[in-house]
């Protein structure tokens, strides 16, 4: 009887240990923002850094990936430089390079792409050094790392030689497409339709996060430290606060990009050698069949995709 009781006690302790371990692996996500600074939006909003103000109010860490060409796309170069400096000096920001003009690597080739990388770090590094910050992360425009393995290997070697770390992501929700439709409705005075698109963006973002969380749990048997990719645009200015609130209600902690990168999953080799900008959760998969299996299960974005196509065609 004593031996049997001892077995029950051991089993109970094991169950408690498993439950405590699972509970202790808290879910987390970091926020990364591409195509900073949005200077056209800045001009239209009377030179108010509205998205930056929202992020400040949320008191969360975030990482920005900068396209310096945006500084020079209108006559307000002085104001645009001031906006860039505001983003960089912010105490909650980590700073990264996103190339100068957001060119697609597989289209322009190695030499032109390297030139664009180096052109895109001049002001950024100058301002960052003024605030004791480094610029050590690089995110590929379109997350296009090359058309084939040769291009992938060549550009990775260059970035390594320059001490750049390639910036991954695990979750994105096509915010650029939602934003295009959102602005179309706002610009045409269709406020209710714009609001509906904003709410749809929030819901789809949460659905996609849940999907990628389930995928990661299935593959790695634990929560992973997710990285969310979005952009400096109007829909995030108006809805990123709601997304953060909802994400936190789902028991996620908003952490820094550097904290996310401490997860051992990011030490895995990226073995996807095509140009498409898919999640790193797919890039680490050993076969295309496995990728396709999971991609078929993704939440459906066909409704917003169809709206986007119709608006583009009509314009």
Q: How many domains does the chain have?
A: 1
165, part of any domain = yes
Task: Determine how many CB atoms are found less than 10 A away from the CB of residue 257.
Answer: 23
Split at pLDDT 50, 70, 90, the class of 15 is very low
Residues forming beta bridges with residue 65, ordered by sequence position: 96
pTM, whole model, 2 decimals? Answer: 0.92
In-domain check, residue 51: yes
- pLDDT reported for residue 315: 86
Checking if the pLDDT of 17 tops 60, the result is no
278 within a domain of the structure (yes/no): yes
Q: Please indicate whether residue 11 or residue 101 has the higher confidence score (pLDDT).
A: 101
Decide if pLDDT at 272 tops 90.
yes
Domain contains 188: no
The verdict on residue 263 lying in a domain is: yes
Residue 12 pLDDT class (50, 70, 90 cuts):
very low
Please report the DSSP string for the chain in residue order. Answer: -HHHHHHHHHHHHHHHHHHHHHHHS-EEEEEEEEEE--HHHHHHTTT--HHHHHHHHHT--EEEEE-GGGGGSSS-HHHHHHHHHHHHH-TTEEEEE--SS---HHHH-HHHHHHHHHHTTHHHHHHHHHTT--EEEE--GGG---SSHHHHHHHHHHHHHTTPEE---SEE--HHHHHHHHHHHHHTT-HHHHHHHHHHHHHHHHHHHHHHHHHHHHHHSS--EEEEEEESSHHHHHHHHHHHHHHHHTTEEE--HHHHTTSGGGGS-----SS----HHHHT-S-HHHHHHHHTTSPP-HHHHHHHHHHHHH-
Residue range of the domain that includes 250 = 27-174+223-289
- Residue 242 located in a structural domain: yes
Mean pLDDT of 260-282: 98
Which of the four pLDDT bands, split at 50, 70 and 90, describes residue 143? very high
In Å, how far are 5, 64, 128, 300 from 97, measured between CA atoms?
61, 8, 11, 31
For 313, phi and psi rounded to 5 degrees? -65, -40
pLDDT at 119 > cutoff 90 = yes
Q: Looking at the domain assignment, is residue 229 inside a domain?
A: yes
Instruction: Evaluate if residue 285 carries a pLDDT over 90.
Output: yes
pLDDT digits (tens, 9 = 90+) for 162-182: 999 999 999 999 999 999 999
Residue 16 has pLDDT above 90, yes or no: no
d(CA 196, CA 230): 19
Task: Inform me whether the pLDDT recorded for 1 exceeds 70.
Answer: no
Task: Please tell me the predicted confidence (pLDDT) of residue 18.
Answer: 41
Task: Measure the CA–CA gap between 236 and 177, rounded to whole angstroms.
Answer: 12
Closest by CA position to 74, among listed 51, 96, 104, 44: 44
Task: Judge contact between 52 and 233, C-beta under 8 A.
Answer: no
Residue 278 belongs to domain with CATH number? 3.20.20.370
pLDDT (tens digit per residue) in 192-250: 999 999 999 999 999 999 999 999 999 999 999 999 999 999 999 999 999 999 999 99
Average pLDDT over every residue of 264-269: 98
**C-alpha distances in Å from residue 247, one per residue of 27, 59, 119, 209, 230:** 10, 15, 36, 9, 15
In a domain, 34, yes or no: yes
Instruction: Tell me the pLDDT tens digit for each residue of 64-93.
Output: 999 999 999 999 999 999 999 999 999 999
């Amino acid at each position: 009887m004593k031996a049997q009781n001892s077995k029950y006690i051991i089993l109970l302790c094991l169950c408690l240990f498993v439950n405590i371990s699972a509970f202790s692996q808290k879910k987390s996500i970091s926020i990364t923002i591409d195509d900073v600074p949005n200077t056209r939006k800045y001009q239209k909003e009377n030179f108010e850094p509205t998205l930056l103000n929202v992020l400040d109010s949320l008191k969360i860490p975030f990482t920005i990936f900068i396209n310096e060409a945006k500084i020079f796309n209108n006559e307000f170069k002085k104001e645009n430089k001031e906006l860039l400096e505001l983003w960089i000096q912010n105490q909650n920001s980590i700073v990264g390079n996103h190339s100068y003009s957001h060119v697609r690597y597989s289209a322009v080739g190695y030499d032109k792409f390297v030139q664009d990388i180096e052109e895109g770090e001049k002001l950024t590094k100058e301002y960052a050094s003024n605030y004791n910050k480094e610029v050590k992360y690089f995110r590929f425009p379109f997350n296009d790392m090359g058309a084939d393995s040769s291009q992938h290997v060549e550009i990775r070697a260059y970035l390594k030689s320059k001490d750049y770390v390639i910036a991954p992501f695990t979750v994105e929700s096509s915010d650029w497409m939602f934003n295009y439709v959102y602005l179309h409705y706002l610009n045409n005075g269709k406020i209710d339709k714009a609001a509906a698109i904003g709410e749809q963006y929030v819901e789809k973002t949460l659905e996609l996060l849940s999907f990628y969380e389930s995928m990661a749990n299935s593959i790695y048997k634990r929560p992973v430290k997710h990285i969310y990719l979005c952009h400096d645009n109007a829909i995030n200015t108006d809805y990123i606060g709601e997304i953060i609130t909802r994400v936190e209600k789902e028991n996620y902690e908003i952490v820094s990009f550097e904290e996310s990168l401490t997860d051992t999953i990011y030490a895995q080799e990226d073995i996807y050698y095509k140009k498409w900008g898919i999640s790193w959760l797919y890039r680490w998969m050993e076969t295309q069949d496995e990728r396709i299996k999971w991609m078929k299960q993704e939440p459906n974005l066909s409704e917003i995709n169809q709206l986007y196509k119709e608006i583009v065609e009509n314009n």
